[in-house]
A and B are shown apart, each in its own frame.
Chain A
Amino acid sequence: MGFSFDLVINALIAGILLGGFYAAVTIGVSISFGILDIVNIAHPAFIILGSYIAYIVNTRLGIDPIVISVVMLPVFYLLGAGIYQVYYESFEKHGQDALRGLSFFFGLLFVTEVMLILVFGVDYRYVEAPYIGPSWRLGVMDFPLRMLVPCLAALAMFGVLQMILSYTFIGRAISAVAQDQLALRLMGASPTRIKRIAFGISIATTAVAGALLIIIQPVEPSVGREYIGRVFAICVLGGLGSLPGTVIAAMLLGIIESFTATFYGPSWAPAVAFGVLLLTLAFRPAGLLGR
């Protein structure tokens, strides 16, 4: 198999587009793990939940999946806020060891997956939208719209989040809560409330990420587990707590996976993320842009 220019350039494009989507998937964890220090390994389960909701509404009512996800944002936000409250009451308040918190989220991940299997079975589900199928050609470059649209939507979501974090009071309080809870209290803001809002936002992003996922690929309940490695690999590679770092790392991972898939076959893709994670942990645990 030769290194033809066509193949390389299109692998690169596919990688960048994929990376944009990966950023959408990971941004929630960048908040919950990077800023709040909560290891929410159930994050992919919520994404899959978002995918299935997009699937149901799209199949029944024909509405565009991305539109569905925006409508679902407040619902997922409330879900996240509720879960944080349970987590806080049961674990964080008492300073419980990490084992319990991790098991809690693992339980959530597991229960969500099994419930989806019970309700929907293990068949692959997919959505229909006008941009799934056609490609935008520019010379030898091929931009599949079903990847381009999610990538753009992901970057838009990233932009909105970055603005919230930088320019609103709540946003800056969220950035601060990782560093100085006392100062927050003195300013009259309750750290618990701030964290709850942040976690709610983190889960809200999964509504959108889920819709994007089912646009890019057909979904079945166990797909979530493939993403755990990717999500945390990106978080660590990008540097915990750095949103721009997450986007860059996501792009990098997308490109590496794309090249691996093109030249070695797609069945090796899940292993790439783990390899990246291990290498990063071994050589530069602070990540590319981490504090």
Chain B
Amino acid sequence: MRTRFFLLISIAVAAGVFFGARLVNNDYVFFAGYTILQFIVLATAWNILGGYTGYVNFGSAAFFAMGAYSTVFFHKAFPMPIPILIAIGGVVSGVVGFGMGYLTLRLRGAFFAIATLALAVVLQTLVVNWDYVGGSRGAYIIRPNDIAWIGPYIQYLFLLMLALVVISITIARWIERSQLGYGFATIRDDELAAEASGVPTLKLKLVATTISGALMGMAGAPFPYYIGYLQPSSAFGLEYAVNSIAMPMIGGTTSWIGPLIGAILLGSLQQIATVTISSAVNLLIVGLLLVAFVIIAPNGIVGLVQGWMRRREK
């Protein structure tokens, strides 16, 4: 299926989701749905680097939060419509992703992973010390109640996030089928042999890091409007780091479908758990599922399905 065709189908499905949600006539659907859509983008973004090239990013929260905080910064300095803020968030996080990659990707994958973890802590420290964006006290963003053409503001945010979902899965799928996808796979499989075969591994890894970071930043940009009051502890929250890894690993890392499945399943599970049990327990469940899947089903749900289909063929 050609990418253009896929894009059209995705847009159609997204439109269907949006109008279907409006039929339900309950704002909660939009609030909960926004979170799940956000996770689809984060999981897909993570997978472009982690699943395709094998370089693990533990600091997804940092890229997400940078998108959120660039929105806070511009909201105070020079108010702009959200789509532009999304683009800015993408650029900021993309540049940081590129910079960090440039410093650490020439060494082993393990060092990159550790650096991403430390990056999250450092950026959080910087933000906590930066009063202009609220520091540790946090920043308020007054969100309008309604918006023209659509109605309740949350539906507008939901629509924007739907657009980001369509963009990110289209990009992920396009990469998979392109020459770039081959290059990424060789880096994951055997970086030394990839170099010997002519693959410019550093350049490709930088491309992956930049795209991945940019998408995460774009997912974070509308967040202050969604939540109304942004604190460093919520922007850099633990749930972003673990979910962006758990969702692709559980869904399956070799295809764009994996993060989608993982995000929808785990996202919904967590929404239910948060409401019924507690938010800490729901994170615990995610962590345990991650460890279990990594040990038992390393190729995720997609891998299990593929294995089952292969066995049926025989």
Q: Which residue numbers of A lie inside 8 Å of B, CB to CB? A: 33, 39, 41, 86, 90, 96-100, 102-104, 106-108, 110-111, 113-115, 117-118, 222, 225-226, 228-229, 232-233, 236, 265, 267-268, 270-271, 273-275, 277-278, 281-282, 285
Contacts and interface: CB of A to CB of B under 8 A. Distances in A.
B284 A271 contact: no
B82 interface: no
- 9 smallest A-B Cβ distances: which pairs? A229-B118, A107-B291, A111-B287, A110-B287, A274-B118, A107-B290, A274-B122, A114-B284, A39-B110
A264 to B, nearest CB: 10
Contacts of B274: none
Interface string B106-122: 01011101110111011
15 contacts: A90-B294, A98-B110, A99-B54, A104-B291, A104-B295, A107-B294, A111-B287, A114-B280, A114-B283, A229-B114, A229-B121, A274-B121, A275-B122, A277-B114, A278-B104
Interface string B31-61: 0000000000000000000100010101000
Given A39-B110, A229-B121, 10 more contacts: A99-B56, A102-B113, A110-B287, A111-B287, A118-B281, A229-B114, A270-B124, A274-B122, A277-B118, A282-B103
A222 B232 CA distance: 14
Contacts of B138: none
Given A99-B50, A281-B107, A268 B295 contact: no
Nearest to A226: B121
Nearest to A107: B291
Interface string B8-36: 00000000000000000000000000000
B110 A274 contact: no
B54 A97 contact: yes
A225 B295 contact: no
B95 interface: no
A277 B115 contact: yes
B125 A270 contact: yes
A225 B56 contact: no
Interface residues of B, number: 42
Contacts of A228: 114, 117-118, 121
A99 B253 CA distance: 11
B159 to A, nearest CB: 32
B245 A106 contact: yes
Given A39-B113, A99-B50, A267-B125, A113 B238 contact: yes
B202 interface: no
Contacts of A278: 103-104, 115
Contacts of B294: 90, 100, 103-104, 107
Nearest to B190: A97
Given A118-B280, A233-B118, A274-B119, A267 B128 contact: yes
Contacts of B114: 39, 41, 228-229, 232, 277
B245 A103 contact: yes
A33 B110 CA distance: 10
B125 A268 contact: yes
Nearest to A90: B295
A110 B238 contact: yes
A65 to B, nearest CB: 26
A103 B290 contact: yes
B125 A271 contact: yes
Given A274-B119, A281-B111, A41 B295 contact: no
B125 A111 contact: no
Interface in B242-299: 242, 245-246, 249, 253, 280-281, 283-284, 287-288, 290-291, 294-295, 298
Contacts of B104: 278, 281
A84 to B, nearest CB: 14
Given A106-B245, A110-B238, A113-B238, A267 B129 contact: yes
Contacts of A222: 238
A108 B291 contact: yes
B122 A117 contact: no
A225 B56 CA distance: 17
B195 to A, nearest CB: 17
B126 interface: yes
B122 A102 contact: no
B129 A268 contact: yes
A103 B56 CA distance: 8
A98 B58 CA distance: 13
A222 B238 CA distance: 9
Nearest to A225: B121
Contact of A110 (B103, B107, B188, B290): B290
Contact of B249 (A103, A225, A265, A285): A103
Contacts of B125: 267-268, 270-271
B118 to A, nearest CB: 3
Given A111-B288, A111-B291, A115-B284, A96 B298 contact: yes
A110 B249 CA distance: 15
Contacts of A270: 121-122, 124-125
A271 B245 contact: no
B228 to A, nearest CB: 23
B211 to A, nearest CB: 18
Contacts of A265: 129
Interface in B86-136: 103-104, 107, 109-111, 113-115, 117-119, 121-122, 124-126, 128-129
A228 B120 CA distance: 11
A233 B109 CA distance: 15
B35 to A, nearest CB: 19
Nearest to B189: A97
